[in-house]
Homo-oligomer: A and B are copies of this chain.
Amino acid sequence: MSRLDAQLAFLGEADRLKSVLRATSLHDRSRRENSAEHSWHVMLHALVLAEHAARPVDVSRVMTMLLLHDLVEIDAGDAPIHGGHDPAEQEAKEQAAADRLFGLLPVDQRDAMRFIWEEFEAAETDDAIFAKSIDRVQPVLSNLATDGGTWPEYNVTPEQLETRVGVKVARGAPAVWSGLRSRIDAWFSGRASLLHY
């Protein structure tokens, strides 16, 4: 098999990410979002919000991380943050998925892409911390745009949002989290006042 054959086989398999559905909806609520279009949208967030990174980042590495970050969901599925899944089991599934999917590529590309995906997952470098933070910003904005989106469904409280999402967003992009935090607080207090009538 030529390099091009292997590359085209990988790219064809990647098409399946368009059929992995996430918990969040489009802003117009017409349907649930898939992981491929989510990945595109998150990359756009990273480009536009890079100036708010806690520490200087290489935007092109951040974008490459986000381009690849959800590919493993083709085999492992999406594990919603408020869904209560087993993290060890999910991690094992994702490692097996990375073996299979990146393994379709020529060896040098397999290793380079696996390396940057592992860096993202480890969330230790400045680039990965910012990428992980932005990956959590996009669904918050989707929930805010759709009257709370999945929050009522999963009975999410502002305190849970702070622990599950806020801490990680603030670590990579503190100014973005304070902007989101005030929008989140406004949404929850609007809801609380409705519930009292």
Contact = CB atoms under 8 A, between A and B. Distances in A.
A3 to B, nearest CB: 8
Interface stretch (A28-36, A87-95, A117-125, A184-192): A28-36
Given A11-B44, A48-B109, A67-B44, A26 B37 contact: no
Given A18-B26, A26-B15, A48 B141 contact: no
A2 to B, nearest CB: 8
Contacts of A47: 64, 67
Given A47-B67, A48-B105, A12 B27 contact: yes
Interface string A1-25: 0111101101110111111000000
Q: Which 6 residue pairs spanning A and B have beta carbons closest together?
A: A60-B60, A40-B40, A36-B37, A15-B27, A37-B37, A4-B179
A94 to B, nearest CB: 18
A10 B45 CA distance: 10
Given A4-B52, A48-B11, A141-B11, A43 B67 contact: yes
Contact of A48 (B7, B41, B138): B7
Interface in A100-141: 105, 109, 138, 141
Say what secondary structure dominates the interface of chain A: helix
Contacts of A7: 48-49
B175 A48 contact: no
A176 interface: yes
Contacts of A36: 36-37, 40-41
A145 interface: yes
A15 B15 CA distance: 20
Contact of A37 (B34, B67, B109): B34
A76 interface: no
